[in-house]
A and B are shown apart, each in its own frame.
Chain A
Amino acid sequence: NAGVTQTPKFRILKIGQSMTLQCAQDMNHNYMYWYRQDPGMGLKLIYYSVGAGITDKGEVPNGYNVSRSTTEDFPLRLELAAPSQTSVYFCASSLHGPNTEAFFGQGTRLTVV
């Protein structure tokens, strides 16, 4: 039972490069989320999706894009990496929305230099 799987676990990017953080869940959850975690700052919501084909901005969406072509997958795209995007990124999913238990992936540690 894999749950929420994120790849890669670690990545170093140069300023201006692009990359996609992958997220997949096998629990048939409708809701999926991307958060970033900065030291001493808790988690901030970047984007979320309530189902395939539907996405919306969270609290800190600038510099990121998402897509949700299937129920299982919710990739996060960084187009022009900046040092401010150095963070740990978590993908999560829940069955019935943010009022229900969310399951988190193990995270992707991204450094932009």
Chain B
Amino acid sequence: AQSVAQPEDQVNVAEGNPLTVKCTYSVSGNPYLFWYVQYPNRGLQFLLKYITGDNLVKGSYGFEAEFNKSQTSFHLKKPSALVSDSALYFCAVRDKDGGSQGNLIFGKGTKLSVKP
């Protein structure tokens, strides 16, 4: 069975400091991994994904994520946080060898709060 865990409900960061939002996953085969962001009263927006290739993936708004197969992690990072980065962040996983077309599994979300 597939699963994804975001161990922190909330992450607090000062503006200008680096940020990390953690994600670990469990799949039986090789994973497809995604990060989405949700601003208040809005739908989710795609940030980045890992399918194959380079373990460091760069995405929108200066975010990046590192795929670590041995630790089954896909942490989201940004070198310098902005107040406007404050939002809810979701990690999602799908097993490459999974049979269902639709089953992308989402984590519970991590609320990022960036203070000036």
Task: Identify the A interface with B (CB < 8 A).
Answer: 4, 31, 33, 35, 40-45, 48, 50, 56, 58-59, 90, 92, 97-99, 101-107
Considering the chains assembled together, what is the distance between the CA atoms of A41 and B108 in angstroms? Answer: 5
Are B104 and A98 closer than 8 Å at their CB atoms? yes
B43 and A92 contacting across the interface, CB-CB below 8 Å? yes
A58's nearest neighbour on chain B, judged by CB, is B102
B103: chain A residues at CB < 8 Å are 45, 58-59, 98
Shortest B15–chain A CB gap in Å is: 26
For the A-B complex with A50-B102, A106-B41, A107-B41 known, give 11 more contacts whose Cβ atoms are closer than 8 Å: A31-B102, A40-B109, A42-B90, A43-B90, A48-B101, A56-B102, A99-B32, A99-B51, A101-B49, A103-B46, A107-B42
User: Can you show 28 pairs from A to B with CB atoms below 8 A apart?
Assistant: A31-B101, A31-B102, A33-B102, A35-B106, A40-B9, A40-B108, A41-B108, A42-B90, A42-B108, A43-B44, A43-B106, A44-B106, A58-B102, A90-B44, A98-B32, A98-B103, A98-B104, A99-B49, A101-B46, A101-B49, A102-B44, A102-B104, A104-B44, A105-B43, A106-B41, A106-B43, A107-B41, A107-B43
Main secondary structure on B side of the interface with A: loop
Question: Which B-chain residue is minimally distant from A48 (CB atoms)?
Answer: B102
What's the Cα separation between A31 and B100 when bound, in Å? 13
